[in-house]
Amino acid sequence: MTSISEAPQNPLPLNSARSRQPGGGYVIRWLRANLFASITSSLITVILIVLLGKVLISLVQWGYWNAVWSVPGDQTGACRSVRGLGACWAVIPEKYRFILFGTYPFDQQWRPALACLTFIALFFVSSRRSFWRKELVLIWAAALALIGILMWGGIFGLTYVSQDRWGGLPVTLILATFGLAFGFPLGIVVALGRRSKLPAIRSLCVLYVELIRGVPLISLLFMASVMFPLFMPDGVNIDKLLRAQIAFVLFAGAYLAEVIRGGLQAVPRGQHDAADALGLSYWKKNGLIILPQAIRHVIPPLVNTFIAFFKDTSLVLIIGIFDLLTTAKTSIIDPAWQPFSVEVYLFVALIYFLFCFAMSRYSRRLEAQTRH
Amino acid sequence: MTTSTPELRRRRQLRFSLSRQQITGLVWQIVVVGVAVAIVAFLWSNALHNLSARRISTGFAFLGREAGMPIADTWLAYSPKDTYVRAFIVGIVNTLRVAVIGIVLATVLGTLIGIARLSSNWLLSRLAAVYVELLRDIPLLLQLLFWYVLMQGLPAARAAWRPIEGVFLSNRGLVLPSVPIAEANLWVIATIVAGLIALFVLRRQLMARQEADGKVRRLWPYALVLVVALPALVSLGLGASWTVTMPELRGFNFVGGLTLAPEYFALLIALVTYTSAFIAEIVRSGIQAVPRGQWDAANALGLRRSFVLQRIVLPQALRVIIPPMTSQYLNLTKNSSLAVAVGYQDVVSIANTTLNQTGQAIEAIALIMMVFLTISLGISLFMNWYNARIALVER
């Protein structure tokens, strides 16, 4: 609480050291202004450097100097002897295929790998402003179809692989992406319904959104895994992954509806009036005039919702679906490797981090663009 | 333009077309509600059929039966012979125990980090930024598993770490020195709470009088009497004992002191650190939303920096901060249900066990929903009240 710069946009405080201390080179001046501007600031800097140094040194010792990078086969003796002092990175090359692709047939694992690359390409294309057109819907449909073919196979000479053998990163990406692809239109409809003048439709939408947002995602997933079969007629048996996927669509729909509703509220009243004056029907008015503006308003919060949603897919661990986190947790059940779960969790955390960090960077850039 | 007869007729037609709009509206509503009711009825009849086929009776009668599930970590007296109702209540208390303490700690930590992010000290603000970015971009469940694994990797009770005298950190969890709470202690605590409430009311009155005549009135003498002197007298009068009992290692476990089980401790750390990263961002943007002119004006008056922050900037920032903070509190409460992944028995975990034991899926999940909707409503009401209190009063 000691030192707050008056203007956060400006890293230099008003009575900065720069004005008082004209001497010294750029580096010295920078250090004076940013690390040693006052006695408290200098004190904080010194304490932080000491703490940071200690932490970094022990991290480097654990993660690099004392670490074991490879062991022959399952002979983890070398790892066990440095336990607590050094990391056992040997677990990663040993287990990464299982962590990334689960129990997918080993010689066919290029297919989920290709599916993951398709996902990444799809995200990349969707993030380009020049692709924000109607054709994007077609690109999505084509990409999702391609992913379906790659994962299931059964045609074009690809052997059929059933859903229970899918696992790892592709499952995480499928849950997140399909959840968004179907949750987004649902969210739009519900957001429109919540702002509708028709009381019955409005209250139905409010009920749906508040019910889903009011309870933890886990209870929805329990519902999907336990209650869903009860609600189906006899003989209808829906796959576990699909049931979780439906829960995710409903979940994403409710949260996206709230974000889109915020965007709808930001569209000026005059736009509605102008569209009405042109005699456009309700759907044409919203599809051509209101929604394009509303969604543009809320792109940064939408990306933030995507990030939260991507992280939330990891909850399927609790109902036993093999996503990235579940495969990671399963890979260390093996007694030989059991003590090295920290290394595996760090590896998986890195993957999640890369995806989320890329999205959050992107969202921040968009925000900066819309502000100017 | 003069109003002629055809003009009037056209108007009438317009009104007619408006009511046609109303008719389409009505039709739409009937269709949508009809479809919704049909879907629910279809699902419900299927459920009834399936339940009767599996010989599961619907209803909440099962709540009175013996639960037979062990609950390890609880503040209430509980044994597996108790009923399901009792088990649920224990679960609710466990959820609240993690949520309330988590909210308080996350608010404190998040505010500190949010302020650190705006520090003029480059190193401090960079470190705060790294903290926020790192914790926000990794799933909470993964962080929770990570903390839990670290907790299990701690040395056994015999070789526990002792950072401070009387504090033990081992794979049995965190053991802290504690004060045994007897009846006399409870009275003293009650006096302190009553004193705080009285002080709060008094402060309002003093402020109102200060606004009326402009004289500054001191609050601290009253505070000294109400919160310190009076409870001390009560404590002396009732002979309350405040001796701190130090935990001791006996055999393989600790005796005395307050034990935070590793599951609870891991869950608390994960929730607090994860949520504090979001709160830090909210606090940062709230402070940045206060116009620069407010800082300048306060500086021009020669006010101290800490005073400017406390009395000028933070109150204004709070108006921006409160609404998103409310949703973070709700998130933390809902996220506490991840407890099930590490085996801390919160209400969701107990409902899940109940569901597996009795097959009463609908009832168990309805109970979870009821509990969380009530908690969410409670937090929203409180935060709305607080928000209305600090809102800008325009004259």
DSSP string across A7-46: -TTSSS-TT-HHHH---S-HHHHHHHHHTSSSHHHHHHHH
Nearest to B121 among A35, A232, A311 (CB): A35
pLDDT digits (tens, 9 = 90+) for B218-230: 778 888 888 888 8
Q: Which residue of A has its CA nearest to B26?
A: A198
Tell whether A279 lies on the interface with B, counting CB pairs under 8 A: no
Q: Are residues B229 and B283 in the same domain?
A: no
Length of chain B in terms of residues written: 395
Would you call B101 an interface residue with chain A, using a CB distance cutoff of 8 Å?
no
Calculate how close chain B gets to A134, using CA atoms only, in Å: 28
The amino acid present at B384, given as its one-letter code, is N
Interchain contact, B296 vs A6, CB within 8 Å = yes
Nearest-angstrom CA–CA distance, B184 and B231:
11
Domain span including residue B51: 1-55
Question: CA distances (Å), B190 to each of A93, A111, B185, B230, B362, in order?
Answer: 60, 66, 9, 11, 41
Which A positions 140-179 lie with beta carbon below 8 A of chain B?
A: none
- Give dist(CA B209, CA B121) in Å, integer: 41
Instruction: Tell me if B310 is assigned to some domain.
Output: yes
Cβ separation A314–B150 shorter than 8 A: no
Q: Report the alpha-carbon angle B348-B349-B351, nearest 5.
A: 65
Task: Specify which of A340-349, B107-116, B307-316 reaches the highest per-range mean pLDDT.
Answer: B107-116
Q: Say yes or no to pLDDT of B243 above 70.
A: yes
> B302 with B364, same domain?
yes
Q: Could you report the per-residue pLDDT of B141-155, keeping only the tens digit for each?
A: 999 999 998 888 777
What's the pLDDT at A248? 92
pTM greater than 0.95 = no
Q: Say how far apart CA B254 and CA B84 lie, in whole Å.
A: 30
Q: Is residue B284 part of a domain?
A: yes
The answer on B222 and B95 residing in a single domain is: no
Instruction: List B249's β-bridge partners, or say none.
Output: B254
- Residues of A within 8 A of B295 (CB-CB) are 6-7
Min mean pLDDT across A98-102, B45-49, B241-245 is at B241-245
Write down the pLDDT at residue A249: 93
Q: Is A217 on the interface with B (CB under 8 A)?
A: yes
CB contact under 8 A, A349 and B340: no
Please tell me the distance in Å from A315's CA to the nearest CA on chain B.
Answer: 7
Task: With respect to residue B350, please indicate whether it lies within any of the assigned structural domains.
Answer: yes
Question: What does the H/E/C string look like for A333-360?
Answer: CCCCCHHHHHHHHHHHHHHHHHHHHHHH
Shortest Cα distance, chain B CAs vs residue A34, angstroms: 5
Give the gap in angstroms from C-alpha B257 to the nearest C-alpha of chain A: 29
| C-alpha distances out from residue A191 to A90, A213, A288, B33, Å | 50, 14, 16, 17
Half-sphere exposure of A176 (CA within 13 A, CB side): 28
Supply the pLDDT for residue A74: 67
Of the candidates A2, A7, A13, which has an alpha carbon nearest to the alpha carbon of residue B291? Answer: A7
Give the model's pLDDT for residue A11. Answer: 43
Q: Give bridge partners of residue B178 from the DSSP assignment.
A: B245
Distance in Å, alpha carbon of A344 to nearest chain B alpha carbon: 10
Q: Residue B109's pLDDT is what? A: 94
Three-state DSSP state, B335:
helix
Per residue in A198-240, pLDDT (tens digit) is 888 888 888 888 888 888 888 888 888 877 777 777 777 778 8
Interchain CB contact of A225 with B (< 8 Å): no
Q: Is the pLDDT of residue B269 over 70?
A: yes
Could you identify the residue written with the tokens 């036993």?
A320
Structural domains counted in chain B = 3
Distance CA B112, CA B284 (A): 10
Residues 153-212 of B with CB under 8 A from A: 153
Candidates B279, B277, B266; CA nearest to B338 is B266
Chain B residues touching A207 at Cβ < 8 A: none
- For residue range B316-329, list pLDDT tens digits in order: 888 888 888 888 88
Torsional sign, CA A159, A163, A166, A171: positive
Mean per-residue pLDDT over chain B, rounded: 82
Same domain as B42, residue B141: no
As a whole number, mean pLDDT of residues B61-66 equals: 74
Question: Do B147 and B268 share a domain, yes or no?
Answer: yes
Same domain, yes or no: B172 and B273: yes
Partner-chain contact A349 B118, CB within 8 Å: no
User: Would you give the DSSP letter of residue A105?
Assistant: -
Residue B322 shares a structural domain with residue B286: yes
A302 and A256 in contact (C-beta within 8 Å)? yes
Whether B138 sits inside 8 A of A227 (CB atoms) is no
- Res. B367: pLDDT tops 70: yes
Query: From residue A331, how far is each of A96, A100, A102, A115, A248 by CA, in Å?
Result: 9, 10, 9, 22, 25
Residue A305 touches partner B, C-beta closer than 8 Å: no
Residue B273 and residue B382 in one domain = yes
> Residue B1 pLDDT > 50, yes or no?
no
* Minimum distance, in Å, between the CA of residue B150 and any CA atom of chain A: 7
Please indicate if any CB of chain A lies within 8 Å of the CB of B362. yes
Chain A 45-104, CB below 8 Å of chain B: which residues?
45, 48-49, 52, 84
Cα separation, A268 vs A93, in Å, equals: 56
What pLDDT was estimated at residue A10? 42
The SS3 call for residue B255 is strand
- How far apart, in whole angstroms, are the C-alpha atoms of residue A366 and residue A296? 10
> What contacts B144, CB < 8 A, 6 or more positions away?
B266, B267, B270, B338, B341, B342
Architecture of domain A94-371 in CATH? Orthogonal Bundle (1.10)
Number of C-beta neighbours around residue A166 at 10 A: 22
Contact between A216 and B115 using a beta-carbon 8 Å cutoff: no
Contacts of B142 in chain A (CB under 8 A): 314, 325, 345, 348-349, 352
B173-176 and B168-170 beta bridge pairing:
antiparallel
Taking the C-alpha atoms of residue B311 and residue A276, their distance in angstroms, rounded to an integer, is 49
Please state, in angstroms and rounded to a whole number, the distance separating the CA atoms of residues A349 and B124.
Answer: 24
Chain B residues within an 8 Å CB radius of A226: 355, 361, 365
Rounded to whole angstroms, the Cα distance separating A268 from A273 reads 9
Whether residue B50 lies within 8 A of chain A, CB to CB, comes out as yes
CA nearest neighbour of B370 among A205, A222, A215, A251: A215
Question: Which residues of chain A neighbour B334 with C-beta distances below 8 Å?
Answer: 215-217
Structure tokens at A286: 């919203």
Q: Of A112, A244, A218, A107, nearest to A168 (Cα)?
A: A112
Q: Which residue of A has its CA nearest to B355?
A: A226
CB atoms within 10 A of CB B71: 20
Residues B273 and B219 in one domain: no
From the list A1, A217, A231, which residue is nearest B46 (CB)? A231
Q: How far apart are CA A288 and CA A265, in angstroms?
A: 16
User: What is the complex's ipTM, to 2 decimals?
Assistant: 0.84
Please report the pLDDT score of residue A23 as a whole number.
58
- What's the CATH code of the domain at B347? 1.10.3720.10
Same domain, B44 and B25: yes
Of A371, A322, A296, the closest CA to residue A102 belongs to A322
Is the residue at B66 inside a domain? no
Tell me which of B243, B270, B295 is where a domain ends: B243
Do B202 and B330 fall within a single domain? no
The answer on pLDDT for B276 being more than 80 is yes
3-state secondary structure of B79: coil
Would you say residue B102 has pLDDT above 80?
yes
* B325 and B383 fall within a common domain: yes
* Residue A98 in tokens: 């299982």
Q: Nearest 5°: phi and psi at A292?
A: -55, -40
Give average pLDDT by consecutive 10-residue segment, chain A, 372 residues.
42 45 71 78 86 88 76 71 74 78 79 85 81 79 84 77 81 89 90 85 86 86 81 76 90 90 84 86 84 82 87 88 86 78 88 90 79 56
